[in-house]
Every structure is written in structure tokens, then in C-alpha cells.
Amino acid sequence: MRVVAAVDKFKGSLTAAQVASAVGSACWELGHDCTEIPVADGGDGTLDALGGPNRTTVVTGPLGDPVSAPWRLQRRTAVIEMARASGLALVGGRDRNDAMAASTVGTGELIDQALDAGAKRIIVCLGGSATTDGGLGAVRAIHAPHRLRGVELLVACDVTTRFVDAAPVFGPQKGASPAQVRMLTGRLERLVQVYRDEFGVDVSTIDGGGAAGGLAGALAALGGKLVPGFDLVADELDLHDAIAAADLVVTGEGHLDAQSFEGKVVGGVQAICATLGRPVGAVVGDTDDDVADRLPVVSLVRRYGAERAMSEPMWCVEHAAAELIVTMTGAGTTGR
């Protein structure tokens, strides 16, 4: 039987590649072929899913300190994960962030570096940002933005929040107080006019323009095209073709909840399988009760307990995948 393992990372536990490898091991033990496809939704982990970094550039971090930001350039296509240059994790989380000062300068410097290196296609993956600067730092860091006119600029995001709403929706997650949220909102409102005057684009009307604290809107003002992150990754990895050639698909992520079916990997894979008429099940770290019946699923926490799921995640994923495949195919037992 031909199985496709199209899985996301288990955040804080396993990378998508590790999860896919564990599913592949389960398939091998059961005598099935497996195509391992680590997937992402446009946020953190997308760079790895699209081949991993092969370059590193020292850029300005979110609070001004230099950071070494990995990125990818191959065949004139650059892949930039903004979290590697302007991410909240780089400053130690929300409690150590300065929500007012955090800037996307480093992300702009990576885009500028990609242009200097001759990139004709630039994919910017959003998510995990420390910033609510409306992308102004990135815009100002790109020397001669007119160079982007000859480049396909794709912006991967998985939210529909609009530009001015970025502060109240995402600001508190980045350490902004209620007073700071109001100030950030005012700054975003002023930037709407700035971008309209400079680039002739009304970023306030763009669905998803508020992603990464407004960076999505800023890149749209520079000619970027906002695309759902999962769809972009699926196209880059030829996921539709792989699933079409499969007999069974295993997907998965760290926590299955309602949002998993709204632009995330599990929901995206399930939708492709529904279109192509392929059976799909999921191996997950844990699951909310209200979504547990939306597809066949094995939860590591419920099956093996939270302690073992965290201490032996590869073992748990492999055994859970074997159980899932046997259950879905009715083909004997796993011997475990």
C-alpha cells in the first residue's frame, strides 16, 4: 500500500521531518511504502518544509540586536521566514518584548539581501513575530524597493485580520498593554495613509494585511501577493500529486482543535484528500473533544499519557501511526 505522511511539526517536541520519519518507520514495519512530506502552514517551520536554510545573514533583530538569520536561495527563489529575523522567540517571549519598539527591519534586510543575490521569486513566511510596526521597518530596510517590480513576491499567511486590527488582535500576545495597543493602533492608522501616499495601495482593505503586526500589508503595498500559507506550501511540494498517487494519507500536528481546520495543515490535507477521494487519518499530540470525530485520529496523550508522549515522542508517533493505519485498513494487527 502507498502511504503519504503529510504532517506538521509537534511544536516543542518534534519537527515535521521527525514526525514524517516516525510515520515512515511504522509503514515500513507494516510492509507499506511511504512518501514522507513534512508540511507547514506558512508560519514557523515553513522554511524547513521548503528545503531548509542554505544561507545565513546577520541582520537587525526585533529589538535592535544583531541576529544570525537563516534563509534559503535556490534557483533564484528565496525563502524567508520572518520569525528567524523578527520573531518573538528571539527576544525571549512576550514578557521580554518591547511591543512599541519591536521592528521588522531584519526581515526587510533579508529581502534586500535576496534581491542583491539575484532572486526573482521571494517567499516571505509570516508568523511568530515580535512586531506591530506595520512593516515599516522592513519597507525602509529595502534599498530601492522598485527592484521588487521585477520579482514575484509571495507572502504566506494564515490569518484574515486586517491591517489596523493587528494591534488589538495580536498586540497583547506580544506583550502590549491596553494603553500600548491603543498607541499601536494609532500608528497603524497613520501608516495606512503613508502607504497610500507612497505606493498607491490602501492596505486597510486587504484581508490578512494585519498578519505579523501589519508586515503583510506593507509587503502588499510593495507589490506582494498574500496567499494562504498551507496552499503555498502544498503547491511548492506538489502535495496534490503525491496524495493523488496514494492509497492512504496520514497527517498530524501537535494539538488538534477547531483552528486545525481553518488554514492549518490537518484541515488542508483533509480537504485535498476529500477532493481526490483518498482516506486520511491523523496522529496528534492531543485533541479537543469537539473535533476528535472529524477524521480518524490517534492522540499520543490519550493513548500513552502525557509524560510518555513528551519523553518518547518518536516511539509514540510510530506506534500511533501503525495503530491508525491498521484501524483504517482493517489489515491485521501491529503486533504491539
Reported residue count of the chain is: 336
CB 99 within 8 A of CB 69: no
Q: Are 159 and 208 in contact (CB under 8 A)?
A: yes
Q: Which tens digits make up the pLDDT trace of 241-292?
A: 999 999 999 999 999 999 999 989 999 999 999 999 999 999 999 999 999 8
Rounded average pLDDT over 167-196? 98
- For the chain, report the end-to-end CA distance as a whole number of angstroms: 20
- Tell which residue, 318, 237, 298, has the closest CA to residue 272: 237
pLDDT per position as a tens digit, 76-95: 999 999 999 999 999 999 99
Spatial contact of 316 and 324, defined as CB atoms under 8 Å apart: no
Alpha-carbon torsion, ordered 69, 73, 79, 85, to 10 deg: 10
Rounded-to-integer distance, Cα 21 and Cα 36, Å: 7
DSSP run (H or E) holding 252: strand 248-256
Kindly tell me if the per-residue pLDDT of 332 is higher than 60. Answer: no
Q: Where are the chain's structural domains?
A: 2-39+237-329, 46-230
Domain at 2-39+237-329: CATH code: 3.40.50.10350
Per the prediction, the chain carries an average pLDDT of 95
**Contact predicate 229/160, CB 8 Å:** no
Cell 492531543 appears where? Answer: 286
Q: Across residues 47-68, what is the average pLDDT?
A: 97
Share of the chain above pLDDT 90, in %: 94
Residue 294 is which amino acid?
R
Q: What is the pLDDT of residue 114?
A: 98
List C-alpha distances in Å: 120 to 78, 111, 146, 216, 315.
Answer: 8, 11, 13, 19, 42
Nearest CA to 218 out of 107, 119, 128 is that of 107
Q: What is the mean pLDDT of residues 135-156?
A: 96
CATH placement of domain 46-230: 3.90.1510.10
Residue 334 has pLDDT above 50, yes or no: no
Q: Closest by alpha carbon to 251, among 289, 307, 303, 298?
A: 298
> CB under 8 Å to 312, separation ≥6 — which residues?
304
Q: 178-199 and 211-221 are packed helices; what angle lies between their axes, rounded to 10 degrees?
A: 10
Q: What is the mean pLDDT of residues 193-218?
A: 97
Lowest mean per-residue pLDDT among 175-189, 244-258, 318-332: 318-332
CA distances, 92 to each of 64, 87, 229 (Å) = 14, 9, 25
* Separation between Cα atoms, residue 28 and residue 2, nearest integer Å: 11
pLDDT at residue 335 above 50?
no
Residue 331: band (very low, low, confident or very high) from pLDDT cuts 50, 70, 90: low
Q: What is the pLDDT of residues 104-126, one digit of tens each?
A: 999 999 999 999 999 999 999 99
- Kindly give the interhelix angle for 313-329 and 16-30, rounded to the nearest 10 degrees: 50
Give me the percent of the chain exceeding a pLDDT of 70. 98
Alpha helices in 245-299, H assignment, sequence order:
265-276
pLDDT, average across residues 123-138: 96
Distance in angstroms (rounded) separating the CA atoms of residues 78 and 124:
8
CA-wise closest residue to 211 among 108, 98, 334, 129: 129
**Residue 168 confidence (pLDDT) above 50:** yes
Reference 84, options 139, 135, 44, 38; nearest CA is: 44
